[in-house]
Every structure is written in structure tokens, then in C-alpha cells.
Amino acid sequence: MTATFMTNSTPVLDAEAAKRVKYVVLDVDGVLTDGGIFLGDVDGKRLEFKKYDIQDGLGILLLRWAGIRVAIITGRVSESVALRAAELKVDDLVQDEQARKLIALRKLCARHAITLDEVAFVGDDLPDVGVLREVGLPVVVANATADAVQAAKLQLTRSGGAGAIREFCELLLRARGEWDALVERYVSSRVEVPVK
């Protein structure tokens, strides 16, 4: 399957590959975030904070509006991730401190009757390589490690935590021919109706 080609360093997604995608699965650290974490202690309670890109969230909303399932699978357990997943209303969240991402993905696919060939996965580092090697559309962020890049068919131009997921959502939805209609739906849903 041809997934991408490059035009002046801009990735372009093949329409056939894009239309095959039923499930978009995302890593967190280094993908939805820049990989940095803030750890602290307040009254003996461990706190972890992460910074998320707001444009990524809107891209995920448009994926969901297009009928594409969205999941987060991460190798860290964090209340921050649980909060962000709930806010984004993703379909599935797996936080496994052993980073057994492929095992988790296979279980989710079985639950939803989706094949690995119908999955797009966005990763950035070694814990993602096993998944990247198995899914139909393996994607990495611009600042991914060499091993992750080698396993991918598509490398984004934006780094993790800096709009990479929004870039992917737009590439996918444009390749499917759905972007413009979804943008209009979003804009229309936010336009105030004048009071008579």
C-alpha cells in the first residue's frame, strides 16, 4: 500500500490509504506533548503536569465527527492524560506502565472489530516501534527517533506537542475529501444566531 509521497518536504497522504483508516491511535509523551513532564509534590501527593496543543484537540474532534474512532495508548500512567482523554472524548484510553502497546491495541481492535490494517498510529520513540511495524498507517512526528522513523510510512513536519496531531488529522481528512465539509460544520456550529 502506498501511503505517502513528499512534495517540497510536505507530506501528502494517499487517498486509498486514508479511506482505509477506521481507528486513529495516539501516543502521548512526545506526540500529544513535547515529551516534557512537570513533577511536583503538594502535601505529600505526587502531581504530574503536561502541556497539550489546543489545535491537536480540535483536529481530534474533527476526526470523531468524521466517524473515525480515536484512542490513546501510553506507557505512562498519569491523571493528566486521563483528564485530557475525557476532555477530548476519545473512544479508548490505555495507560500501561509496561508500555505493552501492541498487546493493548490488538485487544481494542478485537473489541471494535477493526483490523490492524485499518489503524493509523502516531508515535515517536522505541515504545512505539512494535505498533508502527504492525499497523496499516504508521506515522511519526517530526522529532521522532531514528528507529521510529524507520518503521513509519509517514513523517509529519511538526514536532510532538507542537501541532503534529493537528497536521496529521488535516492530512488524513483532506486525503479522504472530508476536511472542507468538517471545517464548515465546525464554523457553522460556532456562529451565533442573531437575536430577533
Range of the domain at 130: 13-153
Residue 20 has pLDDT above 80, yes or no: yes
Asked whether residue 189 is domain-assigned, the answer is no
- Contact present, 147 and 131 (Cβ < 8 Å): no
Asked whether residue 187 is domain-assigned, the answer is no
Asked whether residue 2 is domain-assigned, the answer is no
Asked whether residue 176 is domain-assigned, the answer is no
Give how many domains the chain has, as a whole number.
1
Burial class (CB within 10 angstroms; exposed 0-12, middle 13-18, buried 19+) of 48:
middle
DSSP code for 133:
T
Give the C-alpha distances (Å, rounded to integers) separating 117 from 22, 33, 120, 154.
9, 26, 8, 15
* Cβ partners under 8 Å of residue 171, min gap 6: 11, 12, 13, 18, 154, 156
Burial class (CB within 10 angstroms; exposed 0-12, middle 13-18, buried 19+) of 55:
middle
Asked whether residue 80 is domain-assigned, the answer is yes
pLDDT tens per residue across span 133-179: 999 999 999 999 999 999 999 999 999 999 999 999 999 999 999 99
Asked whether residue 110 is domain-assigned, the answer is yes
Three-state DSSP state, 191:
coil
Asked whether residue 188 is domain-assigned, the answer is no
Structure confidence at residue 2 as a pLDDT band (50, 70, 90)? very low
Please give the helix or strand (H or E) that residue 73 lies within, else none.
strand 69-74
- Contact present, 166 and 56 (Cβ < 8 Å): yes
Asked whether residue 170 is domain-assigned, the answer is no
Angstrom distance (rounded) from CA 69 to CA 138: 16
Q: What is the CATH number of the domain that holds 81?
A: 3.40.50.1000
pLDDT tens per residue across span 102-128: 999 999 999 999 999 999 999 999 999
